[in-house]
Homo-oligomer: A and B are copies of this chain.
Amino acid sequence: MLSSIVISSRIRLARNLYDLPFPNKLCDFESASNVSKAIFEILGEDYEYRRLKNLSNNQCLLLLESHEISKELIGNKDIAGYAKSPDGQITIMINEEDHLREQCIIKGFDLKRCYEKISKIDDMILDRIDIAFSKELGFLTSCPTNVGTGMRASVMLFLPALTLNGAMKQLIESLNQNGITVRGLFGEDSSCSGYFYQISNKYTLGLSEEDIIEMVEKNVKKIIEMEETARKTLQSVNESVIIDMSYRAYGILTNSYTISTEECLQLLSKLRFGIVLGLVKFKNPSIIDELYTNIEPAHLMDYYSLELSPKEQGIFRAKYIYENLENKLIKGV
């Protein structure tokens, strides 16, 4: 089944070693690699470890497209690394903007469980490594916006109805005034696309971890209610318009000769909306959520084992979508 509104919850903690310059000033490669080694010793052999300098550009892009690492981490390729838990929920980026970016992502709406899970790891790290901490300010971070708890609590939401009825602009402004930041599918600097919005706390200072989680949860619950109301209204007024929109999106997805990533995201989300409302019947709907990642450039090239120019990517993307979605929509007038 596809999640109807809440896609995933995520807690991220920013930490830095007390006796090391922040990564952007870290020219001493030995010290940099000592961070990785320390993490390796703490987390043990169950975790998967990677040094980015040992990866090809395409391998790095694969991880980026899968939301496992960030653009900033790739920017620090020479000193950067990452560790991933066996279940994939916990990842630690090493020498990103901060020495450590510990995060836990789980499906659905449960920030508290995310926090519990990542706290266990964080406690192990705090026990063994001397982390930069000020009694007055809290955890010290490379960017002042993370000082304090160093925590970002975020929830990824699918908000087609609030987008289609034009309510998002005003909602984002009002959330901003309440200390909530709204971002797109690809985190910071990414614009909202395919009806996906990442809701997170704007401030990390002056609030406890529990306060932050409670504040984000409260706002997310309010947004979920608004989206549910907007969906009901849309369905009662325009049900056939939504079916038509979903069907056409499917028609273009499965018949285009060439298609861009961005257009593909938009169309997948139009199709997704019809499915989660139960208006469009679909065999194996979970393939839709897999496609969001699999149609990205590095994933396509990896799948076809080919270096593809942007023009070729468009053609192979269309081919890939056709192969995965053809004959999956079940029609009935």
- Bound: A255/B282 CA distance, A: 14
Give which listed residue, B247, B257, B315, B319, contacts A256 with CB less than 8 A.
B247
Structural contact, B240 and A248, CB atoms closer than 8 A: no
Q: Which of A230-269 contact B (CB under 8 A)?
A: 240, 243-244, 247-248, 250-258
- Give min CB distance, A86 to chain B, whole Å: 39
A333 to B255, CA, bound (A): 11
Instruction: Tell me if A283 counts as interface (CB < 8 A to partner B).
Output: no
Interface of A is mostly: helix
Interface size on A, residues (CB 8 A): 21
Which residue in chain B gives the minimum CB-CB distance to A254?
Answer: B251
- In the assembled complex, the CB of A242 is this many whole angstroms from the nearest CB of chain B, namely 9
Within 8 A of B (CB), among A127-172: none
> A222 on the interface (CB 8 Å rule)?
no
Q: Which residues of chain B are within 8 angstroms of A322 by Cβ–Cβ distance?
A: 331
Minimal beta-carbon separation of A184 from chain B (angstroms): 26
A254: chain B residues within 8 A (beta carbon)? 251, 255
Name the residue on B nearest A322 (C-beta): B331
Q: How far, in whole Å, are A322 and B244 apart by their CA atoms in the complex?
A: 13
Q: What residues of B have a CB within 8 angstroms of the CB of A315 in the complex? A: 240, 333
Give A333 to B240 CA distance when docked, in angstroms: 33
Distance in angstroms between the alpha carbons of A252 and B249 in the assembled complex: 8
* A-B complex: 8 closest residue pairs judged by Cβ atoms: A251-B255, A251-B251, A244-B257, A243-B257, A247-B257, A247-B255, A251-B252, A244-B258
Q: Pull 9 A–B residue pairs with CB atoms less than 8 Å apart, ordered by A.
A: A240-B311, A244-B256, A247-B256, A248-B251, A250-B255, A251-B252, A251-B255, A252-B252, A322-B331
